């Protein structure tokens, strides 16, 4: 990981401008701002200052329904040291040419450009991550790589590449900002900030975003875990059950007994549910066509996909997408 490099402006205080995109995730946003506030308090002086922006200066509704009043519109950003795009669910629905142009202008003026959570989708759409190493929320990584092939997408909790930085969701921006603080003022102050925030161990960039597979599934049998890992890695081109049994070093009948004991269902059904859960994310969070979603999750026809999707989720995929987006349009 390359170290963060600030633009060559007056060094103190560092200025961060947070650009709020409609339906942004609140936790990553606050996890990014709060360490800056605590750093000022621990240092006894203003090391960092920050402002909140929206494209037009209007208040922005977060994904949890809270409405945040911003300080200014993006075109009045001024000379910030770093601009951070905060986005969340349905980020694809809020891509905007004018927003992209304003972010490119800030980059030309010398600001670092970064993102938290699904903000990496906004930066990628603006062409600001071309040829760069980047990350985002784990749910977005596969789609990000497919839609923007020029990117080097990683599974890290955060990434720096030159004057760009990207960060995953949840509490990961806290780790990102602790990195900034450590680079600026040393690890002692960063440790004081972490201690104040009851964050006992700042994570390194390459640490995994998701919980251990055993924690996520409640499964303890290592052979079943190996099979689930293979399933998760092969959602677009499902592996035959016989090959999955070979991975576990079992017969198909033994594998079915293990799955029944650990998960209460046969491996084929579990595999299908994994694919359909991934499909629902693509239906609700991307603009992919239903046929594209079907292919991306291992279904050979849109009709077969729609039937399986409706059986699990209780609603056809096209209606599911429509129902999710209707409240967004109303807001």
List, for residues 236-247, the tens digit of each pLDDT value.
Answer: 999 999 999 999
Answer yes or no: is pLDDT of 14 > 70: yes
Burial class of residue 234, CB neighbours in 10 A (0-12, 13-18, 19+): middle
Residue 326 confidence (pLDDT) = 61
pLDDT, mean over the chain:
90
Do 178 and 260 fall into the same domain?
A: no
Pairing of strands 158-161, 164-167: antiparallel
CA dist 193 and 129 (Å) reads: 30
Does the residue 262 lie in any domain? yes
- Its pTM stands at 0.78
Which of 163, 196, 229 terminates a domain? The answer is 196
Answer yes or no: is pLDDT of 9 > 60: no
Identify the DSSP state of 281.
H
Percent of the chain whose predicted confidence (pLDDT) is above 70? 95
Does the residue 205 lie in any domain? no
Of the pLDDT bands very low, low, confident and very high (cuts 50, 70, 90), residue 294 is very high
Instruction: Please report, for the domain that includes residue 265, its CATH number.
Output: 1.10.10.60
Contacts of 38-47 with CB under 8 Å at 24 or more apart are 38/193, 38/196, 38/197, 39/181, 39/185, 39/189, 39/193, 41/196, 42/189, 42/192, 42/193, 42/196, 43/185, 43/189, 46/12, 46/13, 47/12, 47/13, 47/14, 47/184, 47/185
Do 26 and 111 fall into the same domain?
A: yes
Of the pLDDT bands very low, low, confident and very high (cuts 50, 70, 90), residue 75 is confident
Which of 152, 167, 196 terminates a domain? The answer is 196
Burial class of residue 45, CB neighbours in 10 A (0-12, 13-18, 19+): exposed
**Sheet strand arrangement including 72-73:** 72-73, 48-54, 14-20, 82-87, 112-117, 164-167, 158-161
Does the residue 4 lie in any domain? no
Do 76 and 161 fall into the same domain?
A: yes
pLDDT tens sequence across 188-221: 999 999 999 999 877 888 787 887 888 889 899 9
Which of 171, 196, 221 terminates a domain? The answer is 196
Do 57 and 85 fall into the same domain?
A: yes
Give the bridge partners for 19, in sequence order.
Answer: 53, 85
- The more confident residue out of 282 and 201 is 282
Does the residue 107 lie in any domain? yes
Mean pLDDT confidence for 260-277: 95
The domain tally of the chain equals 2
Domain interval for residue 103: 14-196
Residue 330 confidence (pLDDT) = 42
Do 157 and 37 fall into the same domain?
A: yes
Residue 159 confidence (pLDDT) = 95
Answer yes or no: is pLDDT of 327 > 60: no
Percent of the chain whose predicted confidence (pLDDT) is above 90? 74
- If one counts every other C-beta atom within 10 angstroms of the C-beta of residue 243, the result is 12
CA dist 300 and 160 (Å) reads: 39
3-state helix, strand, coil in the chain (%, to 5): 50, 15, 35
Residue 328 confidence (pLDDT) = 46
Residue 206 zone, left/alpha/beta (φ > 0; ψ -120 to 50; rest): alpha
Mean pLDDT confidence for 88-98: 90
Task: Mean pLDDT check: name the lowest of 56-65, 210-219, 263-272.
Answer: 210-219
Let me know: does 21 contact 30? Beta carbons within 8 Å. no
Dihedral sign for Cα atoms in the order 171, 175, 177, 181: positive
Let me know: does 81 contact 183? Beta carbons within 8 Å. no
pLDDT tens sequence across 124-154: 999 999 999 999 999 889 889 888 999 999 9
Do 45 and 163 fall into the same domain?
A: yes
Report residue 31: phi and psi, to 5°: -65, -20
Task: Mean pLDDT check: name the lowest of 5-14, 42-51, 149-158, 223-232.
Answer: 5-14
């Amino acid at each position: 990981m390359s170290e963060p490099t600030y633009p060559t402006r007056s060094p103190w205080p560092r200025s961060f401008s947070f650009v709020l995109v409609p339906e942004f995730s609140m936790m990553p946003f606050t996890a990014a701002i709060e360490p800056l506030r605590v750093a000022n308090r621990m240092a006894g002086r203003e090391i960092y200052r920050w402002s909140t922006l929206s494209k037009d200066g209007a208040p922005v509704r977060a994904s949890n329904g809270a409405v945040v009043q911003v300080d200014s519109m993006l075109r009045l950003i001024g000379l910030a040291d770093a601009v951070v795009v905060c986005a969340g669910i349905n980020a694809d629905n809020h891509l905007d040419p004018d927003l992209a142009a304003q972010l490119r202008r800030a980059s030309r003026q010398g600001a670092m450009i970064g993102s938290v959570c699904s903000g990496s989708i906004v930066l990628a759409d603006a062409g600001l991550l071309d040829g760069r190493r980047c990350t985002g929320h784990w749910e977005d990584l596969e789609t990000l790589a497919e839609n923007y092939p020029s990117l080097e997408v990683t599974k890290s909790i955060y990434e720096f590449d030159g004057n760009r930085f990207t960060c995953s969701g949840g509490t990961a921006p806290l780790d990102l900002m602790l990195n900034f603080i450590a680079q600026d003022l040393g690890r002692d102050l960063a440790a004081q900030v972490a201690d104040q925030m009851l964050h006992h161990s700042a994570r390194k960039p390459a640490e995994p975003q998701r919980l251990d597979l055993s924690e996520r599934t409640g499964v303890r049998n290592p052979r079943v875990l190996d099979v689930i890992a293979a399933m998760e890695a092969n959602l677009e081109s499902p592996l035959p059950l016989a090959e999955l049994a070979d991975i576990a070093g079992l017969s198909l009948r033994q594998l079915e007994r293990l799955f029944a004991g650990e998960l209460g269902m046969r491996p084929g059904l579990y595999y299908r549910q994994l694919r359909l859960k991934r499909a629902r994310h693509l239906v609700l969070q991307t603009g992919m066509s239903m046929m594209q979603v079907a292919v991306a999750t291992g279904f050979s026809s849109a009709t077969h996909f729609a039937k399986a999707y409706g059986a699990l989720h209780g609603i056809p995929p096209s209606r599911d997408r429509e129902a999710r987006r209707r409240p967004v349009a109303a807001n």
